[in-house]
Amino acid sequence: MEKFMQLLREECEARWEEHSLTRSPDWAEFKSRLDGEFTRLAELLWDLYRDRPDFSYQLEGIIEDAFRAFEARPLELKERDRTFQPESGWFLSEKQLGAVAYVDRFAGNIKGLAKRLPYLKELGISYLHLMPFFLAPEKENDGGYAVSSYRETNPALGTMADLEAIARSFRKEGIALVADFVFNHTSDEHDWAQKAKAGNARYQDFYRVFTDPAETMVYQEHLRDIFPEHRKGSFTFNPQMKKWVWTTFNSFQWDLNYRNPEVFNAMAQEMISLANRGIAILRLDAVAFIWKEPGTTCENLPQAHTIIKAFQVMARLACPSLLFKSEAIVHPDDIEKYIDLRECQISYNPLLMAELWEASATKEVRLLALSLRKRHHLPAGCAWVNYVRCHDDIGWTFADEDAAELGIKGWDHRRFLNDFYMGEFPGSFSRGVGFQYNPETGDRRICGTAASLAGIEKALEEGTGAELDTAVRRLLLLYGIVFAAGGLPLIYLSDELAVLNRYAYREDPGQASDSRWVHRPLWSDRLYKLRRKSGTTSGRVFAALCALSEIRRSNPVFGVQSLTVADGGHPSILAFHKQHEGRLLTVVGNFSDRPIIPAPGTMCRLVAGKNPRELISGKLVLPEEDAELEPCALSWILSDT
């Protein structure tokens, strides 16, 4: 292999010489990185494309294009590359706090984001994920996840120049921009898809296209339906081509064909062009689905990892400060496999998210504690993106094996959780909406804003003051765990104002069939003004979240990634520790809606060290006291060791 790599390199070098890359003033810097990366890239691509007789030609072209993209990278970003590589670990710091929003729903358009800057600063945000802002089909576009061009914005939101300007000004304010890299599919209006429809064979090979439906059958029997309420099966007949196209999600989202190295290169170029606009982190959408093999579920295949790793090398060459965040809402064993300094440095933590809700419904923390013990640890230098909810549904993605260890039956438990969060289970506090019920499997997921799922909506309409108080605490408890668990916490903007479900989506024909719109709220000036008003739900949640953000920022112990779960002395109490340079943080959360006195001596056991003080209330703690924990109480206790 070594000899072969050397030959490949020589062949490539001869061509770069010929194409006068080597004479560019940028070559020396690029080459110093290429020296370290060439073999890795060549080996990764060899794994995928070894059958191609033109392999060396493809490789040469891919690297040449990476170089051209690097040449085009603005100086300011090249500067940033020198200090903010993934290995610098900047995103692990307690000073980092993320937020996510739709541009139009949060700020009208891209320029409008500038006027939201003071608001983001109030919350302490340092990372802003803008939901897909690309050109997309007008009618249906899956909330922007059907991209028609990665180089153009949706005209209603502004222009790419606006985006670059915002990226620049936010960067100066210490806010990194995050965008989606929707790389599993494009919309059927993308230029490549249009050419494919018109019969262009080269572009038909950009997608997974089949002439004979029998060919699709080989795959179909092993695939799951992602949106079963919309349609059955993963293939769509296109009458223009008279062929079948692979469409994992909606019929207008065409899956790209990564068996074709031209697709890899074309998408690598789209990726780098986003980085060159000033995007610091890419959210890799739907990572699980990018490679397909007959006879498999076509999810999480080894080649999917190879592709992402190869993209990562491309980033290292052309825009080395770019980070990858993986979006894999799959079995916990599979989520973990995407997380690596050389693959995705950060990853959504859907397990923690789902189990925070699970513990809130059951009032028992055993499954949550088990997962934190068993699955929270990550490779050094990588981080979870911890969140309470996002723009998508909540799926109960805990591992059935984990549940079985505790005597919990996965299927039954999911059914209970769905009933509970749809408000159908007796005693439920939640006002959620079901999503994508599949009568064949009984599978379902849940939608709803954090406030509505946590009980605020129900309490406001039909509850008592005490219930409202508990619901507010519950929301803060979940955010409090997310803020303390290490990694990057992410606020879904509007949660900080306790925004309730928006049922008006049912009146909008573009949204009515997708209940995820119930929890994608519109900016509200009224609630915004309430944020400083004590005595309102929005005011209370906003003030509390700002306080948590401030405490987190000021205490380096929150930047520690690992945690140690402790016995909370009661089935409803979650407790864990983090340690940093002579300080011990003890996090205690009561998931019950009743006051609880932990088993005698619990606090003494949990709160080791001197001078324990509760950071949120500012109170000194007397561990001997075994004080009662209020319903849904959260404590962050810091002591000196």
**Could you give phi then psi for residue 430, rounded to 5 degrees?**
-95, 150
The answer to the question of residue 496 lying near ligand GLC (CB under 6 A) is: no
The answer to the question of residue 475 lying near ligand GLC (CB under 6 A) is: no
Closer CB to ligand GLC, 449 or 555, in the complex: 449
Closer CB to ligand GLC, 434 or 623, in the complex: 434
Among 190, 309, 376, 445, binds ligand GLC (CB under 6 A): 445
Q: Could you tell me the strand order of the sheet in which 209-210 lies?
A: 209-210, 243-246, 235-238
The answer to the question of residue 514 lying near ligand GLC (CB under 6 A) is: no
Residue 525 is among the residues annotated as catalytic for this protein: no
Minimum distance, C-beta of residue 485 to ligand GLC, in the bound complex (Å): 21
Catalytic residue among 81, 94, 104, 285: 285
Among 102, 133, 249, 636, binds ligand GLC (CB under 6 A): 249
CA dist 114 to 16, 97, 118, 174, 493, Å?
A: 43, 18, 8, 14, 16
Q: Could you tell me the strand order of the sheet in which 610-614 lies?
A: 564-567, 573-580, 583-590, 634-640, 610-614
Distance CA 616, CA 444 (A): 37
Among 8, 177, 286, 633, binds ligand GLC (CB under 6 A): 286
From the list 278, 307, 315, the residue with the least C-alpha distance to 178 is 278
Contact 288, 300 (CB under 8 A): yes
Minimum distance, C-beta of residue 499 to ligand GLC, in the bound complex (Å): 19
**Residue 436: left (phi > 0), alpha (psi -120 to 50), or beta?**
left
Minimum distance, C-beta of residue 252 to ligand GLC, in the bound complex (Å): 11
SS3 of residue 158 by DSSP: coil
Distance CA 203, CA 529 (A): 51
Contact 497, 475 (CB under 8 A): no
Minimum distance, C-beta of residue 226 to ligand GLC, in the bound complex (Å): 5
Closer CB to ligand GLC, 446 or 499, in the complex: 446
Write the DSSP string, 76-113.
HHHHHHHH--GGG-GGGSTT--EEEE-HHHHHSSTTTH
Binding mask 55-94 toward ligand GLC (x if CB under 6 A, else -) reads ----------------------------------------
The answer to the question of residue 519 lying near ligand GLC (CB under 6 A) is: no
Where in 295-324 is the site for ligand GLC (CB under 6 A)?
none
Closer CB to ligand GLC, 393 or 496, in the complex: 393
The answer to the question of residue 284 lying near ligand GLC (CB under 6 A) is: no
Minimum distance, C-beta of residue 145 to ligand GLC, in the bound complex (Å): 3
Closer CB to ligand GLC, 225 or 262, in the complex: 225
Closer CB to ligand GLC, 62 or 287, in the complex: 287
The answer to the question of residue 447 lying near ligand GLC (CB under 6 A) is: no
Q: Residue 204: how many CB atoms within 10 A of its CB?
A: 22
Contact 615, 637 (CB under 8 A): yes
Closer CB to ligand GLC, 399 or 603, in the complex: 399
Distance CA 533, CA 349 (A): 33
How many Å from the N-terminal Cα to the C-terminal Cα in the chain?
53
Distance CA 192, CA 207 (A): 9
The answer to the question of residue 495 lying near ligand GLC (CB under 6 A) is: no
Residue 327 is among the residues annotated as catalytic for this protein: yes
Closer CB to ligand GLC, 444 or 473, in the complex: 444
The answer to the question of residue 223 lying near ligand GLC (CB under 6 A) is: no
Task: Find where tokens 């089909």 sit.
Answer: 137
Among 189, 285, 443, 467, binds ligand GLC (CB under 6 A): 285
Which residues are CB-neighbours of 418 under 8 A, at least 6 positions away?
396, 434, 444, 445, 446
Distance CA 130, CA 112 (A): 13
- Give the side-chain half-sphere CA count within 13 A for 304: 27
Looking at residue 331, what DSSP letter applies?
Answer: -
Minimum distance, C-beta of residue 182 to ligand GLC, in the bound complex (Å): 6
Q: Which residue is nearest to ligand GLC (CB)?
A: 145
Where in 157-216 is the site for ligand GLC (CB under 6 A)?
182
The answer to the question of residue 133 lying near ligand GLC (CB under 6 A) is: no
From the list 493, 449, 488, the residue with the least C-alpha distance to 471 is 449
Distance CA 577, CA 356 (A): 17
Where in 377-406 is the site for ligand GLC (CB under 6 A)?
392-393, 395
Stretch of 44-52, 142-150, 265-273, 629-637 contacting ligand GLC, by CB under 6 A: 142-150
Minimum distance, C-beta of residue 16 to ligand GLC, in the bound complex (Å): 36
Radius of gyration of the chain (CA): 25
Number of residues that bind ligand GLC (CB under 6 A): 14
**Which sign does the torsion angle of CA 9, 10, 11, 14 carry?**
positive
Beta bridge partners of 433: 447
Closer CB to ligand GLC, 364 or 443, in the complex: 443
The answer to the question of residue 142 lying near ligand GLC (CB under 6 A) is: yes
Catalytic residue among 180, 327, 392, 457: 327
CA 534, distance to chain mean position in Å, is: 32
Number of H helices, E strands in the chain: 23, 22
Q: Residue 503: how many CB atoms within 10 A of its CB?
A: 12
The answer to the question of residue 473 lying near ligand GLC (CB under 6 A) is: no
Minimum distance, C-beta of residue 98 to ligand GLC, in the bound complex (Å): 15
Among 61, 112, 143, 463, binds ligand GLC (CB under 6 A): 143
Among 5, 114, 117, 226, binds ligand GLC (CB under 6 A): 226
The answer to the question of residue 335 lying near ligand GLC (CB under 6 A) is: no
Minimum distance, C-beta of residue 487 to ligand GLC, in the bound complex (Å): 19
Distance CA 15, CA 54 (A): 14
Closer CB to ligand GLC, 140 or 142, in the complex: 142
Closer CB to ligand GLC, 96 or 186, in the complex: 186
Among 271, 313, 318, 329, binds ligand GLC (CB under 6 A): 329
Helix ranges (H only) for 329-436 are 332-336, 350-362, 366-375, 400-405, 410-421
Closer CB to ligand GLC, 222 or 583, in the complex: 222
Distance CA 564, CA 376 (A): 10
Residues noted as catalytic: 285, 327
What residues line the site for ligand GLC (CB under 6 A)? 142-143, 145, 182, 226, 249, 285-286, 327, 329, 392-393, 395, 445
